[in-house]
Amino acid sequence: MNATGAPEFGSEFRARFAELVAWRRDVRRFRADPVPEEALRDALALTCLSPSVGNSQPWRFVRVADPARRAAVAGSFSRCNEAAAAAYDDARASAYRGLKLAGLREAPVHLAVFCDEATEAGHGLGRATMPEMLRYSAVTAIHTFWLAARAHGLGVGWVSILCPEEVAAALDVPAAWRLIAYLCVGYPAEEHADPELVRHGWQARQDTGAMILER
């Protein structure tokens, strides 16, 4: 702590934090081991400290345990995944079909993350010119959860190859909730420092310098 009572984060902490960020992976292969409730609840509690526009906190996490609802989500993935593959030319379609893009069948925990676009929290601050900031706020919560879960040794996979309307209907959520992410959570069956899409030749890492501009 410094004189103001604020914590000080030294070089050792920064190095460990960099390691945590580097080892945050989009996991698709899970072990069957159950996820400890304490670890899951701790990660979700940290998630709720994420920044949000107007302090609106619009994220809504739905834990999906019902087998029929999970099957409905898996069905949506299968349909959307086949449509996505069909949109590529032959060579790229073959590469696409060779990728494992979800762990829906294996992951012990499923979390659907929605943005409550009808929330009155925050009183509209910061949203008049950029209403999409509500959804961006939900994304910050997802990233916080991803890091917090990794700190507990858990893997998270973000499944985006889904029809949002089908998922919302399957989970019977309020009409004003918009699907932001469907997360698979569990202990990874494999540990890799590099992203799976890099390892399987789909897309290499890009040079950081090309993404940071000055004006």
Mean pLDDT of 35-39: 97
pLDDT for position 2 = 75
Which CATH number is associated with domain 26-211?
Answer: 3.40.109.10
Domain boundaries, the chain: 26-211
Q: Choose among 59, 25, 44, 55: nearest CA to 189.
A: 25
Longest dimension (CA), the chain: 63
Q: Choose among 143, 155, 145: nearest CA to 195.
A: 155
Give the length of the chain: 215
pLDDT for position 173 = 98
pLDDT for position 115 = 98
Question: Residue 4: pLDDT above 90?
Answer: no
Number of neighbouring beta carbons within 10 Å of residue 29: 16
Confidence of residue 3 (pLDDT cuts 50, 70, 90): confident
Q: Choose among 127, 105, 87: nearest CA to 31.
A: 105
Which tens digit of pLDDT belongs to each residue from 132-143?
A: 999 999 999 999
Which tens digit of pLDDT belongs to each residue from 169-186?
A: 999 999 999 999 999 999
At 79 the three-state DSSP class reads: helix
What is the distance between the alpha carbons of residues 90 and 213, in angstroms, rounded to a whole number? 36
Q: Choose among 114, 139, 142, 117: nearest CA to 127.
A: 117
Number of neighbouring beta carbons within 10 Å of residue 151: 17
For the purposes of burial, counting CB atoms within 10 Å of the CB of 107, is it exposed (0-12), middle (13-18) or buried (19 or more)?
buried
pTM tops 0.95: no
Question: Residue 1: pLDDT above 80?
Answer: no
Strand ranges inside 6-123, DSSP E: 59-63, 109-116
CB 54 within 8 A of CB 108: no
pLDDT for position 20 = 96
Cβ neighbors of 43 (< 8 A, separation 6 or more) are 145, 148, 149, 151, 152, 154
